[in-house]
Amino acid sequence: MSKIRICNTAEIPSNGMKDYDVEGGLKVLIANAGDCYYAYQGICPHQEVCLAEGYYDGAVLTCHQHLWQWDITTGKAIGLAEAPLEKYEVKVEDGEIFVVQSSALKAAQLFMDISGDTLQQLDLLARREKYETGSTLYNIGDPTDDLYILESGRVEFLIGRDVAKATCLEDSVLLRLNGEETLKVLESDPASGYLVMRKLSTLITRHLGSQGEK
């Protein structure tokens, strides 16, 4: 967990927003709503569009590319949006805005709604690894024993009948979990394990379906 200074409160317009690039390749969007400030991932989870280029009315954030929308107070998806935004804890001290970046596991869609104890156990398993632009995480024929969670940067995942490849499109940081140990943790909490496996099945089915449409 780390505390990162983002900007001065005076830089954010009333009921407006602005994005910032911070160390580690992370883009953070800061939005004002009345007396409150909120911080989210600066890139749309749909197709890598900068959210600061979208529309914001002080309550709802809309991506201008495909009109995905989110509640600014929670980051929850509204309407057409199919995924929530990663939210960061905000601290305002002496007119300075900071974000407290917790583990990427907590914000990962795959692990949302699982029990706190199980999430903590998974967090202890995670190994933080840095990769340079162009690095290949795995390729066709490589064993796929581990699970990767993106913390910052951009990674292209190609999955299909004859393709299984993951390549970093820019310098990236990922959390790597040993697959066997992760399964043991999920098996010890059947309710959380069921949620994770159901979401994983949905994500794979959706991705393979979209590949088949091309």
The DSSP letter of residue 50 is B
Specify the 3-state DSSP secondary structure of 192: helix
Return the ∠ at Cα 2 (arms to 92 and 193), rounded to 5°: 110
The tokens 């009921």 sit on which residue?
15
Computed on alpha carbons and rounded to an integer, the radius of gyration of the chain in Å comes to 18
- Residue ranges of domains in the chain, CATH in brackets: 2-101 (2.102.10.10), 104-213 (2.60.120.10)
Return the ∠ at Cα 36 (arms to 33 and 37), rounded to 5°: 85
- The rounded distance, in Å, linking the Cα atoms of 44 and 66 is 10
The amino acid present at 164, given as its one-letter code, is A
**Torsion angles phi and psi, residue 102, rounded to 5:** -95, -175
- This prediction's pTM: 0.55
The order of strands in the sheet holding 146-152 is 127-131, 172-178, 146-152
| Residue 69 structure tokens | 């929308």
The amino acid present at 62, given as its one-letter code, is T
For helices 190-213 and 179-187, the axis angle rounded to 10 degrees is 130
Q: Give me the tens of pLDDT residue by residue for the chain, a chain 214 residues long.
A: 568 899 999 999 999 999 999 876 678 999 999 999 999 999 998 888 899 999 999 999 999 988 999 999 999 999 889 888 888 889 999 999 999 866 778 778 788 888 989 988 998 888 889 999 999 998 888 877 898 988 888 888 877 666 678 899 988 888 999 999 999 999 999 999 999 999 888 877 766 665 554 4
Alpha-carbon torsion (37, 41, 46, 52), positive or negative = positive
Neighbours of 167 (CB within 10 A): 18
The tokens 């632009």 sit on which residue?
133
